[in-house]
Amino acid sequence: MQFKVAFDEADGEGIVFFGNYFRLAHRALEAYLPGIGIPWEEWFKNPEWGAPLRHVEADYLQPLKPGDSFEARVQVTKIGQTSVQFSYEFLTVDGLPITRLKTSHVFLNRQGTGKQAIPESIRRRLSAAGAGSLEKP
C-alpha cells in the first residue's frame, strides 16, 4: 500500500513525529483488513466485540518527511486465544526500510464482560492471511 506523508504529521524539526507512525500504521491496517476479507465495519464497528490496542512497539530506522511517499506492508504475525499481533514495515520508494512496528490487539466483549476468544470467522480470515506464528485456541 502506498502512502504520502502529510504536512501536519511532522514535528518542529520537519520529520514525522514518532507517535504519528502509529497513526500511519493504523491507516495501513484499515486498508489491509478489507484486503484479507474483513470489512472495515466488521472490525471497527462490530456491535458484539472490539479489538483495541494492548501493546505497541516501533524501531525507527530513518526519518520520514512531509511529502515523502512510502510503502506500508502489513502482516498478521501472531494469533492467540484472545489477541492478534500485526507487524508493519514502512519502506522508501527505493525499498529501503524506514520503520518497523508491531501492534497487539485484544478482543473484548462489548457487554463489558472483558476479554473474549477471537470470533471463529475472524480467526479463519486472519489465519488465511498467513500468520507467521499461530497459537490455536
The mean pLDDT of 56-84, rounded to a whole number, is: 96
Tens digits of residue pLDDT in 22-64: 999 999 999 999 999 999 999 999 999 999 999 999 999 999 9
Tens digits of residue pLDDT in 99-133: 999 999 999 999 888 999 999 999 999 999 975 44
CB 16 within 8 A of CB 65: yes
Tens digits of residue pLDDT in 3-29: 999 999 999 899 999 999 999 999 999
> Has this prediction a pTM greater than 0.85?
yes
